Amino acid sequence: MQENSTRKLLVSSSPHVGSGLTTEKIMLHVIIALSFTLVAGVVIFGVYSLLTVALCVASCVCGETLFNLIRKRPNTVKDLSAVVTGMILGLNLPPTVPFYVPIVGGFVAIMLVKMLFGGLGRNFANPAATARVFLLLSWGTQMMEYIRPIDYASGALTVKDFFVGFVDNAAYVTSATPLAEVKSAAGTGAVDVDLLDMFLGNIPGTIGEVCAIAIIAAAIYLIAFKIIDWKIPLTYFAGIALFSLIFYKNGWNFILPNLLGGGVLFAGVFMLTDYATSPNTRVGTIIFAVGAALLTILIRRYGGMNEGASFAILLMNLLVPLIDKACKPHPFGYRKPPKAKKGGKEAAV
């Protein structure tokens, strides 16, 4: 008894046990899922892609460290969220961007979009999507320059090109993305794209978005570990399919090209599911995903760009607080106010 009474015990509010899940573990799972697409991107476009993503990650981590130093706050990089932001941004860049683009992009994503608004969980817009849009506006040409995947079979690109191809830009053949074809075919209703190539990633595009299988594998991984809510990507994809049908002539032909082309899959799995910038309410989540799908298709069909996912996400991000406010849930057993007052003493408090 003596021994017991001198022992120091932890005293806290209940509950006294918790799940083992932490913010770092969540971020680690996302990093693992993102590496699926990174590996695919490196295989498809060569090692320079890895460098681009690495630069993004490095500038994000440096940006966060720097911000914390200036603000004299404990460094928050060990929660790994800056790494996730850096990877998402890097994977959203074309494989041949000059080295300063990812560096500037990383700093913009972290400093302007995330840290200035209070850091992890407080930013109102997706840092990677915002930075991508910022880069599109700043370096339009470089950000729109897409190359063909390495053609291993033909031998046109050698092993040397795979590693050092970025030194000699002539080794790369720039090409339009399948979305350009989708756009020009919108009037006729006949789309000429190779769906199998789009599925495997054998198409021009950004580093992370081209390989559909890798993204689907990542999505399964994230859903299996309960990191993301399957309802967001699935609603988004269903919305893309539905609005393709509505807004295109011979809409059936456009469903798969729109789903597989551009950043739709990537955005649906990695960017719409961003915790801080997606709604916290169940109904709100559905509205958010449907709205993003509608905007994506509207931009693709009627806007000036072939892509549209990043802009759609950004616009929907701004609506999140309003959506959440409008969809605020009522508690279990809620009845309309006049009745609830009769319910008991608690209701009157």
Quick one: 18 or 187, whose CB is closer to other proteins? 18
Q: Which of residues 259-278 bind other proteins (CB under 8 A)?
A: 275-276
Size of the site for other proteins (CB under 8 A): 51
Q: Does residue 340 interact with other proteins by CB under 8 A? A: yes
Q: State how far the Cα of 36 lies from the Cα of 43, in Å rounded to an integer.
A: 11
Contact between 35 and other proteins (CB under 8 A)?
no
Confirm or reject binding of residue 141 to other proteins (CB under 8 A).
Answer: no
Q: Does 11 bind other proteins (CB under 8 A)?
A: yes
User: Would the CA dihedral through 315, 320, 325, 328 be positive or negative?
Assistant: positive
Cis bond leading into 74, ω under 30°? no
CB-wise, 145 or 229, nearer to other proteins? Answer: 229
Query: Taking the complex as a whole, how short is the minimal distance between the CB of residue 122 and other proteins, in angstroms?
Result: 8
Q: Where are the alpha helices (DSSP H) in 154-304?
A: 159-164, 178-185, 195-200, 212-224, 231-247, 252-260, 264-266, 282-302
Using rule CB under 8 A, residue 72 touches other proteins: no
Q: Which lies closer to other proteins via its Cβ, residue 21 or residue 173? A: 21
Q: Which helix (H) or strand (E) holds 313?
A: helix 309-326
Among the listed ranges 85-93, 249-257, 294-302, 341-349, the one in contact with other proteins (CB under 8 A) is 341-349
* Shortest CB 105 distance to other proteins, Å: 22
Is residue 140 near other proteins by the rule CB under 8 A? no
Q: Is 71 an interacting residue with respect to other proteins (CB under 8 A)?
A: no
Instruction: Output Rg (C-alpha) for the chain, integer angstroms.
Output: 23
229: contact with other proteins by CB under 8 A: yes
CA distance 129 to 271: 8
Give helix 252-260 / helix 178-185 axis angle, nearest 10°. 150
Q: Segment 169-228, which members bind other proteins (CB under 8 A)?
A: none
Q: Please, which residue, 137 or 348, has the CB nearer to other proteins?
A: 348
Q: Does 338 bind other proteins (CB under 8 A)?
A: no
> Who contacts 184 (Cβ-Cβ below 8 Å, separation ≥6)?
none
CB of 12 to other proteins, least distance (A): 6
Q: Write the burial class of residue 118 (CB in 10 Å: 0-12 exposed, 13-18 middle, 19+ buried).
A: exposed
Interface region with other proteins, contact rule CB under 8 A, candidates 20-28, 163-171, 174-182, 186-194: 20-28
Site for other proteins in 78-97 (CB under 8 A): 79, 81
Select from 102-110, 159-167, 311-319, 324-332 the region that touches other proteins (CB under 8 A): 324-332
State which amino acid sits at residue 186: A
Give the up-direction half-sphere exposure of residue 95: CA atoms within 13 A in the CB hemisphere.
37
For position 1 contacting other proteins by CB under 8 A, the verdict is yes
CB neighbour class for 142 (10 Å; exposed up to 12, middle 13-18, buried from 19): middle
- Do the Cβ atoms of 118 and 127 come closer than 8 Å? no
- Taking the C-alpha atoms of residue 143 and residue 206, their distance in angstroms, rounded to an integer, is 9
Contacts of 66 (CB under 8 A, 6+ apart): 111
Residue 191: Cβ within 10 Å count: 21
Region near other proteins per CB under 8 A, out of 31-39, 93-101, 106-114, 328-336: 328-336
Mask: binding to other proteins, 110-139, rule CB under 8 A, as x and -?
Answer: ---------xxxx-----------------
Binding status of residue 68 toward other proteins by CB under 8 A:
no
Which residues of the shown chain bind other proteins in the complex (CB under 8 A)? 1, 4-5, 7, 9-23, 25-26, 79, 81, 119-122, 229, 275-276, 279-282, 328-335, 339-340, 343-349
